[in-house]
Amino acid sequence: MEQIINIIAKEFGLVLRNVKNTVNLLEEGATVPFISRYRKEMTGSMDEVTIAAIAERVAELKEIAKRREYVISVIESQNALTDELRQRLEQSWDKTEIEDIYLPFKPKRRTRAEVARQLGLEPLAKVIMSQNGRPIDARRWVKGDVKDEEQAINGAKDIIAEWVSEDSRSRTRLRRNFSRTAIISSRVVKGKEWEGQKYRDWFDFSEPLRRCPAHRLLAMRRGEDEGVLKVSITPADDAEEQIARLYVKSNGEASEYVAQAVHDAYKRLLLPSIENEFAAESKRVADAEAISIFTRNLRQLLLTSPLGRKRVLAIDPGFRTGCKVVCLSEQGDLLEHSTIYPHATDQERVVARYEIEEMVQRHEIQAIAIGRGTAGRETKDFIDSLRLSGIAVHMVNEDGASVYSASEVAREEFPDKDVTVRGAVSIGRRLIDPLAELVKIDPKSIGVGQYQHDVDQTMLRKGLDQTVESCVNSVGVNLNTASKELLSYVSGIGPQLARRIVDYRLANGPFCNRQSLKQVPRLGAKAFEQSAAFLRIPGSDDPLDNSAVHPERYALVRKMASDCGCSVSDLMKDSAMRQGIDIKRYVGGDVGMETLTDIMAELERPGRDPRGVLEDFDFDASIRSIDDLKEGMVLKGIVTNITAFGCFVDLGIKTKGLIHLSQMADRYIKDPNEVVSVGQNLTVKVIGVDHERSRISLSLKGM
């Protein structure tokens, strides 16, 4: 582990002591949110991104070490492990280098070279490979199953070809060539031209692999997976010649055989192997970039501003099947549900009006949420026509609501309600607290990713889980109202403990303080340490229980209050008193200025929500479809998704518009996130409308 810590400190440019402390905390079971928030003195105030990267690198290096030990044991079992070979392996932390060293010793299937060896042709291969200038007499090896000299020579060349393909020198040289010169190309599969029209940009395409952006590579690979495209990666034309120079030493007969063997090795063994390596590595890099974009979008969506604890009437709009209406309490509990038909006959519209007004009055509704999908705009027009005094109307992104409504989570919450009611509940809860509701839905269904079904699913799941965990813990969770899905993302808890917490709460009533959390079965000291500070208890008998101050620091805060001659509650309320505290007096032991600064900030705004204030927003009332758009129009829109090449904007119609990266600012920008974020309200200009392909081009320039 010491070697691993040294490697990470050097790679990341971090203080060795801080890395060692961080790795030790991770090994002891501490979570990334806990370490970044409550162990700053030990880590040098590393952020979550750095700590997560360290955790990932530790896992990678452990796997390399494990693989290296296996390779050493296999070579040793063959009595082929020299001191030099052992030293090379033990000093290597490069997975590719270790595999190259292992390749000649790797148990082989029945290859052409292996067949030749069994025929006793390896000595002939060595003679040819020596290229000593003497004529090659292969007659000595014509015996047994070797029928003639041609068979003997060809068998020897097969062995030489395998030597060349397994030699780390040739593999390293070809990799270097690929790195500098590789071209990725895609061609349409014959007969698939019509079927694969959406991939027509890639029917005859090529560019340097190192310049191919992730979204383009993933598009080509998707086309290949669907059988529309044939994708290849090739090096420079002189790649084979460069490798031949390593082995061909003269112009004699033997050298000619070696050259032929090198050609065979290159075409049959080396080129496919290294192309597969680069295809896999370029896909891995593209996956990582796509996942990074996805997780960043997800973070922005999860941290969308909440309305807060208000009584909400939520509507899942529809034309033919009507609009599903639900009324929710401040906690998101279902109070009533119904179906109205405001888009049918005049009589049904009058009935719908009466029913909405009755519900609003009966449940003292404070806000209305309307799904931003089919019939959403028309439903909002209907609600606006009611002129409900003092009630704000919000359009809510409903992506994934149908996935939730059919999920096991929804069935467990509402076993006697159909999917339409569940969907409307989800829309309303998203307005009250987007984070608490969206954690119940598979992030891949929320609508903020790109190529999420094409990337490595294990990598994606890990990245998404880390993002959700980070968001949940940065906001904090109300222990007495949170669902088990939300609780499962709290530091140190997980799904099983989350269920036990909810079951305990149902059986025993609300938690009165953080210490009572210890009474939950199988919630031990470690889980309490990791989770307690991220759980809030409004109304607790200890005011610190509704803050992000960790219970391990309660005694310190009480000492501060005592020194000021007041209670903790008074200290939290009195700004002048807090400003009079010299926090340097409390530095000592494992408490440094980082922790003390965080505590003072928390006492100033206990339990503060890092999410912003919800803004009112209305689409342009005159725009109802793509046919209403004209170039030059200036409209309002909401960013729904961000990609590497731009962002998509909801204009209140079925078709979303695209702001290309080149149209995002009057200056050069490399990343759309420099300008926009998911959920952001924008004013955009229409610069192009393609009715045939249903594409809308937008611009932020000059806005």
Cα 58 to Cα 9, 19, 39, 479, 685: the distances in Å are 11, 11, 19, 33, 48
SS3 at position 187? strand
CB 24 within 8 A of CB 70: no
Q: Whole-angstrom Cα distance, residue 475 to residue 468?
A: 11
Please say if the pLDDT value at position 134 is more than 90: no
Mean of the pLDDT values across residues 425-449?
Answer: 90
What pLDDT does residue 443 have? 84
Q: Which residue has the tokens 């990341």?
A: 12
Distance of CA 126 to the CA centre of its chain: 52
Please say if the pLDDT value at position 606 is more than 90: no
CB 685 within 8 A of CB 634: yes
DSSP 215: H
What pLDDT does residue 125 have? 95
Question: For residue range 510-564, what is the model confidence (pLDDT) as tens digits?
Answer: 999 999 999 999 999 999 999 999 999 998 989 999 999 999 999 999 999 999 9
Q: Which alpha helices (DSSP H) does 265-329 contain, by range?
A: 271-302
CB 177 within 8 A of CB 236: yes
> DSSP string of 42-65?
HHTS--HHHHHHHHHHHHHHHHHH
For residue 571, the cross-strand partners are: none
> DSSP string of 145-186?
T--SHHHHHHHHHHHHHHHHHH-HHHHHHHHHHHHHH-EEEE
β-pair type (477-478, 535-536):
parallel
Percentage of the chain surpassing pLDDT 70?
Answer: 100
**Residue 641, token pair as written in the block:** 């998704």
pLDDT class for 168, splitting at 50, 70, 90? very high
Question: For residue range 321-355, what is the model confidence (pLDDT) as tens digits?
Answer: 999 999 999 999 999 999 999 999 999 999 999 99
Amino acid at 683: T
DSSP 268: I
CB 546 within 8 A of CB 535: no
Q: For the chain, give the longest Cα–Cα distance.
A: 105
Question: For residue range 273-320, what is the model confidence (pLDDT) as tens digits?
Answer: 999 999 999 999 999 999 999 999 999 999 999 999 999 999 999 999
Helix (H) / strand (E) containing 478: strand 477-478
Question: For residue range 224-255, what is the model confidence (pLDDT) as tens digits?
Answer: 999 999 999 999 889 999 999 999 998 889 99
Mean of the pLDDT values across residues 463-479?
Answer: 94
Cα 160 to Cα 155, 156, 163: the distances in Å are 9, 6, 5
Please say if the pLDDT value at position 607 is more than 80: no
How many helices and strands, by DSSP H and E, does the chain display?
29, 15
What pLDDT does residue 97 have? 94
Domain architecture of the chain: domains with CATH = 2-105 (1.10.10.650), 112-297 (1.10.3500.10), 312-432 (3.30.420.140), 626-699 (2.40.50.140)
What pLDDT does residue 608 have? 81
Percentage of the chain surpassing pLDDT 90?
Answer: 85
Provide Rg for the chain, Cα atoms: 33
Q: How much is the mean pLDDT over the chain?
A: 93
What pLDDT does residue 107 have? 85
What pLDDT does residue 108 have? 79
Length of the chain: 703
Q: Which of 123-137, 190-204, 612-626 has the lowest mean pLDDT?
A: 612-626
Question: For residue range 368-399, what is the model confidence (pLDDT) as tens digits?
Answer: 999 998 899 999 999 999 999 889 999 998 88
pLDDT class for 446, splitting at 50, 70, 90? confident
Mean of the pLDDT values across residues 433-441?
Answer: 93
Mean of the pLDDT values across residues 571-590?
Answer: 91
pLDDT class for 703, splitting at 50, 70, 90? confident
> DSSP string of 105-145?
GS---S-HHHHHHHTT-HHHHHHHHH--SSPP-GGGG--TT
β-pair type (183-188, 634-643):
unpaired
pLDDT class for 260, splitting at 50, 70, 90? very high
Q: Whole-angstrom Cα distance, residue 258 to residue 571?
A: 85
Mean of the pLDDT values across residues 437-458?
Answer: 86
What pLDDT does residue 96 have? 93
**Residue 31, token pair as written in the block:** 């979570």
Q: Whole-angstrom Cα distance, residue 288 to residue 41?
A: 31
Handedness of CA 170, 176, 180, 185 (dihedral sign): positive
What pLDDT does residue 618 have? 85
First to last CA, the chain: 54
Q: Whole-angstrom Cα distance, residue 189 to residue 41?
A: 59
Question: For residue range 620-636, what is the model confidence (pLDDT) as tens digits?
Answer: 888 988 999 999 999 99
